[in-house]
Structure 1
Amino acid sequence: MAIRLKRPKYVHVYTDNRGKTRAYLRRPGQPQVALPGPIHSPDFMQAYHKAMATPQEPKQAGVASVKSGTMNSLIVAYYASSAFTSLAASTQSTYRNQLEIFREHYGDLSVKGFKAKHADTILGTLAKTSTAQAHKLRKRLLMLMALAVKWDYRDDNPMLLASKINHKEKGYRTWTEEDIASYRKHWKEGTSQRLALEILLHTGLRRSDACKLGRQHRQGNRHVVKIKKSGETITVSIPVHATLEKHLKTVSGNLTYVVSKFGKGYTEESFSNLVCEAAEEAGLPPDSSPHGLRKACCRRLAESGCSTVQIMAITGQSLSVVERYIREYNKEKAAEAGMKKVKDKG
Structure 2
Amino acid sequence: MNVYQDRHDKQRIYYREPGKPQVALPGPLYSEEFWIAYHKAKAAEPVSAGKPPVAGSMGSSIQGYYRSAEFAQLAESTQAVYRRILDAFAKEHGHAPIAGLQTKHINVLIDAKGATPAAANILRKRLSSVFEYAKSVGMIQVNPAKEAKRIKTKSKGYRTWTEADIAAYRERWKEGDSERIAMEVLLHTGLRRSDAVRLGWKHLVDDTLVISTKKSQEIVELSIPIHRDLGFVLDLPRGRETFISTVYGSARSEKAFTNWLREAAAKAGLPSNSSPHGLRKAACRRLAESGCTALEIMSITGHRDIKEIERYTQAAEMKRLSRTAIAKNEQSFIMKLPNPKEQVGESQV
Q: What range describes the TM-score normalised by the shorter chain of this pair?
A: 0.7 to 0.9
Question: What amino acid sits opposite 2:129 in the alignment?
Answer: M
Tell me the TM-score normalised to structure 2 length: 0.82
Whole-angstrom distance in 2 between the partners of 1:261 and 1:38? 29
**Structure showing greater Rg:** 2
Deviates more, 1:335-344 or 1:260-269: 335-344
Where does 1:119-268 land on structure 2 (aligned, <5 Å)? Answer: 119-128=106-115, 130-251=116-237, 253-268=239-254
Post-superposition offset of 1:107 = 2.1
Structure 2 residue corresponding to 1:86, chosen from 49, 68, 73: 73
Whole-angstrom distance in 1 between the partners of 2:102 and 2:327? 57
Unaligned runs of 5+ in 2: 7-11, 334-349
Task: Name 2:342's counterpart in structure 1.
Answer: none
Kept in 2, the 8 Å contact 1:190–1:251? The answer is no
Does 1:109 find its partner at 2:100? Answer: no
Kept in 2, the 8 Å contact 1:119–1:159? The answer is yes
Tell me the TM-score normalised to structure 1 length: 0.82
Whole-angstrom distance in 1 between the partners of 2:303 and 2:272? 26
Task: Name 1:33's counterpart in structure 2.
Answer: 21
Q: Deviation above 3 Å: which 4+ runs of structure 1?
A: 11-15, 21-24, 34-52, 338-346
Whole-angstrom distance in 2 between the partners of 1:321 and 1:92? 24
Kept in 1, the 8 Å contact 2:4–2:255? The answer is no
Compared with structure 1, are the counterparts of its residues 292 and 190 closer, same or farther at alpha carbon in structure 2 (3 Å cutoff)?
same
Does 1:298 find its partner at 2:284? Answer: yes
Kept in 1, the 8 Å contact 2:239–2:249? The answer is no
Alignment length (residue pairs) = 322
Compared with structure 1, are the counterparts of its residues 282 and 138 closer, same or farther at alpha carbon in structure 2 (3 Å cutoff)?
same
Post-superposition offset of 1:184 = 0.9
What per-residue deviation string (whole Å, max 9, x for no partner) do you get for residues 75-131 of structure 1?
Answer: 111111111111233332332232223223222222112222321221111122x11
Structure 2 residue corresponding to 1:310, chosen from 278, 285, 296: 296
Deviates more, 1:112-121 or 1:39-48: 39-48
Kept in 2, the 8 Å contact 1:71–1:107? The answer is yes
Unaligned runs of 5+ in 1: 1-7, 16-20
Partner SS state of residue 189, structure 1: coil
Whole-angstrom distance in 2 between the partners of 1:240 and 1:144? 41
Whole-angstrom distance in 1 between the partners of 2:265 and 2:250? 21
Kept in 2, the 8 Å contact 1:145–1:159? The answer is yes
Deviates more, 1:196-205 or 1:232-241: 232-241
Task: Name 2:341's counterpart in structure 1.
Answer: none
Whole-angstrom distance in 1 between the partners of 2:25 and 2:296? 49
Kept in 2, the 8 Å contact 1:135–1:167? The answer is no
Task: Name 2:264's counterpart in structure 1.
Answer: 278
